[in-house]
Amino acid sequence: MPDLATPLIAWYRENARDLPWRHPEFGAWGILVSEFMLQQTPVARVIPHLEAWLERWPTPSSLAADAPAEAVRQWANLGYPRRALWLYRAAVEIRDRHDGVVPRDVDALLALTGIGDYTARAVAVFAYGDRHPVVDTNTRRVLARAIDAKSQPEAPARRDLAAMDAILPRDDNEAAIVNAATMELGAVVCTARSPRCEACPVARVCGWRVAGYPDTGDDRRKQARYEGSDRQARGAVLKQLRDAAPQPIPFDEVIAQWPDAPQRDRAIDSLIADGLAEASDDVLRLPS
């Protein structure tokens, strides 16, 4: 196993982006909200939404005291709006189970709505300073190239945690830095399409580079095109509901001009099934 930790720590201390959730005073709730928002959403889009969210709901209990419809409205155009509803439900659970304090224990975090392996460990590491492997898409790509000499990572799996744990120092603080540094490296240097190997602190020991950059394929599932998709129809319905809230919208006026009527109906049905919309008396509204 090559020593990745030492060069990663040195590189991160010199090159880490100044992001709000990296400030020591940011707190566990802010980090939890940021991790929800950062899932499949670029950093630049997240920052203003994160600031507005925390200004409105500075604690889990303040969000839990509001209506779920307000969480969906505040989410605005961040995409994947189920995250807003999951975050609201997690806030209610934190208030009711943990006296309004974001838990530190990974198992307790995993028991909250919408939180998986990555988010639970990210909160435990970056909010509380505990030693755990934190693995996201960028991390998997760095490990796949540096250790396995592959051009792209495989689909997420439990083995990713063991692979990351193997490169972490024993010291809790240094382990947290290596977790953050590996994600940062994958985000800004070891990118999927145009890696900047000349700027990489681990290029000398990178298995993929030493092997001559072989194309080992990419078997990960590709996301379907957004334009014309059911996702686009869902987004259009949800935007109309947000704009109209708190007033409901008669069913026959919900994106009435949408060119594909069956797709419109599927979008409405799926939003109701996901709890992002409620139907009653021939009208549609955000969840109450």
Catalytic residue among 14, 25, 35, 51: 35
CB of 143 within 8 A of CB of 160? Answer: yes
The answer to whether 55 is a known catalytic residue is no
Give the C-alpha separation, 120 to 104, whole Å: 9
Give the C-alpha separation, 112 to 275, whole Å: 17
Give the C-alpha separation, 74 to 32, whole Å: 16
Give the C-alpha separation, 60 to 80, whole Å: 21
CB of 146 within 8 A of CB of 202? Answer: yes
Give the C-alpha separation, 181 to 52, whole Å: 27
| Amino acid sitting at position 21 | W
- Neighbour count for residue 225 (Cβ, 10 Å): 9
DSSP bridge pairs for 279: 284
Which residues are annotated as catalytic?
A: 35
